Amino acid sequence: MSRKVYQPAEMNGAFAAARNAGNLDDLLSLYEDDAQLLVDAGGASLTGKAAIATELRKLIELPGTMVSNNTFCVVQGDLALLRADFALRDGKDVVIYSGFTAEIIRKQADGSWRYVIDHAGASRYGAG
């Protein structure tokens, strides 16, 4: 199955839903083929779906349920800049892992949107 997002502000919610379902294919369908994923504040990055898949598998394997809330979504033509706060919470609503993201997404020919650049930054373990 391929997950599609037609409103830019819905991208982070769609990402969290695919992650919570444990569906790697749905997560990857949210990325352009040559997208870039920045995996830490030091600038380490992965380019292309094959490389990104390795990192997304690790995310799926983390315990908890992901919630991701947009801080802002700025659309300019076929591009949008997003920022979101996210958290993985256990069954008792305790934060296991949290952080924020910054993303650039692009409108596709079919009207859907996909990640061009996805940067998960300043993630932290534990409550706080």
DSSP 76-123: ETTEEEEEEEEEEE-TTS-EEEEEEEEEEEEE-TTS-EEEEEEEEEEE
Spatial contact of 60 and 22, defined as CB atoms under 8 Å apart: yes
CATH among 3.40.50.300, 3.30.70.120, 1.10.3720.10, 3.10.450.50 for 8-125: 3.10.450.50
User: What are the pLDDT digits (tens) for 18-73?
Assistant: 999 999 999 999 999 999 999 866 667 899 999 999 999 999 998 899 999 999 99
pLDDT band at 97 (very low <50, low <70, confident <90, very high): confident
Q: Which residue has the higher pLDDT, 80 or 41?
A: 80
Kindly indicate the confidence band of residue 125, based on its pLDDT and cuts at 50, 70 and 90.
low
Q: Where are the domains of the chain?
A: 8-125
Taking the CA atoms of residue 8, residue 9, residue 11 and residue 16 in that order, the dihedral angle to the nearest 10 degrees is 180
Residue 62 and residue 79 in contact, taking contact as beta carbons nearer than 8 Å:
no
Q: What percent of the chain has pLDDT over 90?
A: 69
